[in-house]
Every structure is written in C-alpha cells, then in structure tokens.
C-alpha cells in the first residue's frame, strides 16, 4: 500500500470514528443564511417543552420582537428549551447541563450549515446559567464552536453572577462590548451598557467566571434588588434559599426564592393600613410618593387610640397588595414610628437605583415593630417547609423584613417588569431593549463584511459520540 493510500485511509478513519460531531438538532434556518443567528434560553418558569422553537414568549420575547423588527432579514432566531427532557422535569443542575449541551450542539450545526454566519445568545434567569456555561466552554476552546463564530452573549438575571462582576466581565472599566470578530465594529461602538450600583451576588454564585477569548463580548446585566443576580451576600434570603433548595427535588435556588415569597405572603406586619391605602402612591419605587390625605400626626393619633377598630380584611388585603406592587413588601411602613417624612424622603431619593439601600435604611428602624407570622394556607409541601425553615432560621425581625422584601421583589412578575423598565444604558434603555439594540448593531456590522448570503447547507448525517457526563464537561 502506497504512502498516499495509507494517508487517505487514516483520514477516512478519523472522519468516521474518532471525530465527535454535533448531532443535527433541527435548528430552524430560513431560505438564506442570516448575518447573525440568535438563540434565547428562557428561565425555567417560562420554558414550555411543547412550545415552538420560534415562538416569542416570556422576558426574552420582549427582546426578540424589537430585534427582528429592526434587524429584519439580517437576523434569525430560535429558543433552546430549558428544564425538561422528554416531558420530564429535570433537577436544576441537570437542566443547566442539558440546556448548555443543546445550545452547543445547535450552534455547531448552524456553523456547519451557514459557515459565514456568526452567533449570539441571550439567557434569562435559569437560562442564563446554561448560557454562561456555554460561553465559558467556547472562550476556553473546549467547545465544538470556535470563539470567532460568537459575536455576543447576553446574560440577564444571571443566578451565577460573581460578586462585584462588572457589566462586561473581565473589562471593569469598559461599557462598550467588543465588536463581532472580523468586523470594524462601527455600529457596535455606539452601544453602551451599564448596571446600576450592585452590592450583591447571584443566588447561586460561582467563583469569578472566565470567558477567555470571549471576554468583552459577554455582558452580565442585572437589575438592583433582583435576588436572582443581586442577593445580599450572606443575607437571610441566601441562607433560607440554600436550605430549601438543598431539600427540594429540583434543587433550584431561583424557584426557592418564589417559594419563600409564597410562604410569607400571609404573614401580617403591624402597620398603619390607612396610611398605605390613602397616602402612599405609586406602583414602583421610582414612582413612590407620599401624599397624605391627613396630616401624619393626625394619622398616628387616630391609630394610637385604644378605641380605634383594626382594619377589616378587605382593607388589609388592599394595603398588602399595594405594598407588594411597590416591591418592598411591608418594609415601607412596618410600624407607625417608621412612617415619617424623613423615611419617605429616603425612599424617594434611593428610588429604583438601589432598593437594598432602602431596605437597609428601614431595617435599622424596625427593631420594635411587631410581626405576626401566619402559616400559609396551602397544600404545597415546599411552601409549608419554606415557612418552617424561615421560622426556625430567622429570629431577628430586621432580617425578616429584608427576607420578605427581597423575595417579593424578586418574584417572576417583578423581575419581568424591571428588565423592561430599569435603565441599562446612558439613554435610559432597559436591559432587554439594550440587548436588542446591541444584537442589531452586531448584525449590521456583520452585513458589511460577509459575502452574499446563500442558502444553508442541508442537515447531514453524522457519526457522534455520546454527550459527556456532567463531570466530563
């Protein structure tokens, strides 16, 4: 056998057996390859196993809609499901691993079918954990996708966000993402991202993530006060969530936050209900105002009379609803002595920029406030166990207020609203809107440099090796 024949035999053997190729995952690609293909990985509470891969829903749907509308045919997108395998719910760590693997397989398939296309990914909540893991593998050179094919990664409400991580991890003094590989970055240079002041960390934070050669093209966007990515370090919420998540079947720390909120939803805080219902106005901290229908002194005098009847159920529920919609639960007015013009002024100044500062300012004043812990009326095992964990581990009332406010503020509804409204750019654009603008800029830069877009190559049959186990990734 000639040397040439031996060489051909060796190449054939390598091509059919020893090279691991990603399986075809059915990535939906249009008639022509786009300049930029974008994936979204939703949070566990938003990901449905039967949903269409191109159906815009949940928080990321608020980003993909403007992106597709603005970028047009330059961009195509689809979603990676999170949290289920053949219809069965997966524990948190298994779900993160499975979504990261599915994302990598899909990205590798897209690169095969559209060699000139670059990729971008946005992950929200639990999905951000999977996207972060994918980005670390790509940046280190361990993935099937080369780093030069990844134009941008957006992590929103990332539960693994490291303490003091800047908006562009590894680039603490920079606010503009790096350009897509091979482009001048003319459009991307107009993008500026920033987080509000953050003092906390991800609820399941890991050591400082390294994105290797992707550094500068990964953005970690977090809204202040969202315990998913800005949990007070060493605070009672972190401890309670860890206890609940460790005992639960899913071991999902983000789901445990909502469980804490549900467990405390029936708890009664001693407060001047009339003041909340009649005098405190606004549906979020940045809109909060104190407009008394009666002088505060008169309110307190009336409330302190022995003959004053306690509020009825409807009044109490209305007060609790208003407090919950504001997002700081009862810490705004946990006792009569807390409701002072000075306190209201502090809240107005703090606003949405740093809700934890508002909690801390009030926490020092609530030592004498009364809390009546009311067990939740529910058949949910985990909500009941969460209440037991709270009553057994939280003894300081100041900690209880912080725990309740953090859990309620970080509920699914609260986080969705915040990521659509809280500024993440100097011009006041929200994290979701800023991500859409960034990805649009990447696509426009790429459109200037890539050759004419062609039809994608059809899916091909590949010989694959089994996906590595979690320990082997």
Distance separating alpha carbons of residues 377 and 262, to the nearest angstrom = 10
Cβ contact 356:232 at 8 Å: yes
- Residue 24 is given by DSSP the state P
- pLDDT, tens digit only, all 473 positions of the chain: 333 332 322 323 333 333 344 455 679 999 999 999 999 999 877 766 666 777 777 789 889 999 999 999 999 999 998 988 877 889 999 999 999 999 999 999 999 999 999 999 999 999 999 999 999 999 999 999 999 999 999 999 999 999 889 999 999 999 999 999 999 999 999 999 999 888 889 998 877 778 999 999 999 999 887 889 988 887 788 888 988 888 888 899 998 998 888 888 767 654 444 555 566 565 544 444 556 676 655 655 565 555 655 554 455 444 444 444 443 333 333 333 333 444 444 444 444 455 555 555 444 444 444 566 778 888 888 889 889 888 887 777 667 767 876 777 676 555 667 788 888 999 989 999 999 999 999 999 999 887 777 888 887 654 333 344 333 33
Residue carrying structure tokens 């200037």 = 448
Distance separating alpha carbons of residues 127 and 430, to the nearest angstrom = 19
Phi, psi at residue 64, to the nearest 5°? Answer: -70, -35
Distance separating alpha carbons of residues 447 and 117, to the nearest angstrom = 10
Cβ neighbours around 464 below 10 Å, total? 13
* Closest of 162, 302, 281, 278 to residue 218, by C-alpha: 162
Residue carrying structure tokens 């395998």 = 85
pTM for the whole structure? 0.75
Distances (CA, A) of 135 to 30, 292, 420: 25, 52, 24
Helical (H) or strand (E) element with 77:
strand 75-80
Cβ contact 256:241 at 8 Å: yes
């Amino acid at each position: 056998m000639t040397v040439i024949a031996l060489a051909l035999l060796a190449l054939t053997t390598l091509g059919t057996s020893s090279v691991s190729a990603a399986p075809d995952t059915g990535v939906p690609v249009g008639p022509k390859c786009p300049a930029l293909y974008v994936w979204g990985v939703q949070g566990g509470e938003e990901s449905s196993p039967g949903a269409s891969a191109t159906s815009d829903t949940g928080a990321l749907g608020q980003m993909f809609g403007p992106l597709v509308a603005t970028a047009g045919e330059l961009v195509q997108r689809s979603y990676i499901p999170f949290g289920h395998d053949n219809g069965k719910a997966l524990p948190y760590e298994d779900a993160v691993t499975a979504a990261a693997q599915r994302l990598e397989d899909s990205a590798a398939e897209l690169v095969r079918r559209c060699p000139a296309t670059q990729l971008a990914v946005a992950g929200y909540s639990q999905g951000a954990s999977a996207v972060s893991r994918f980005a670390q593998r790509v940046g280190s050179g361990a993935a099937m996708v080369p780093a030069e094919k990844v134009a941008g990664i957006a992590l929103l409400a990332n539960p693994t966000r490291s303490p003091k991580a800047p908006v562009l991890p590894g680039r603490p003094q920079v606010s503009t993402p790096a350009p897509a590989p091979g482009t001048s970055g003319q459009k991307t240079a107009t993008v500026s991202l920033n987080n509000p002041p953050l003092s906390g960390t991800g609820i399941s934070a890991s050591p400082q993530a390294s994105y290797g050669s992707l550094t500068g093209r990964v953005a970690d966007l977090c809204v202040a006060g969202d315990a998913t990515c800005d949990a007070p370090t060493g605070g009672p919420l972190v401890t309670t969530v860890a206890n609940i998540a460790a005992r639960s079947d899913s071991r999902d720390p983000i789901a445990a936050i909502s469980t804490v909120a549900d467990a405390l939803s029936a708890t009664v805080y001693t407060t001047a209900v009339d003041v909340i219902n009649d005098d405190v106005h606004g549906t979020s901290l940045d809109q909060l105002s104190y407009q008394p229908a009666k002088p505060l002194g008169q309110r307190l005098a009336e409330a302190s009379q022995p003959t004053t009847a306690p509020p009825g159920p409807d009044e109490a529920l209305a007060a609790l609803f208003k407090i919950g919609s504001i997002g700081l639960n009862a810490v705004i007015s946990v006792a009569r002595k807390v409701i002072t013009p000075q306190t209201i002024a502090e809240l107005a100044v703090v606003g949405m920029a740093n809700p934890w500062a508002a909690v801390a300012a009030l926490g020092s004043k609530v030592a004498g406030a009364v809390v009546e812990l009311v067990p939740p009326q529910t058949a949910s095992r985990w909500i009941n166990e969460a209440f037991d964990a709270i009553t057994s581990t939280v003894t300081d009332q100041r900690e209880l207020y912080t725990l309740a406010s953090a859990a309620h503020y970080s509920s699914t509804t609260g986080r969705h609203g915040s990521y659509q409204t809280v500024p993440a750019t100097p011009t006041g654009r929200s994290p979701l809107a800023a991500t859409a603008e960034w990805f649009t800029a990447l696509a426009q830069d790429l459109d200037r440099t890539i050759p004419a877009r062609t039809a994608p190559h059809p899916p091909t049959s590949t010989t694959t090796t089994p996906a590595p186990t979690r320990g082997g990734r």
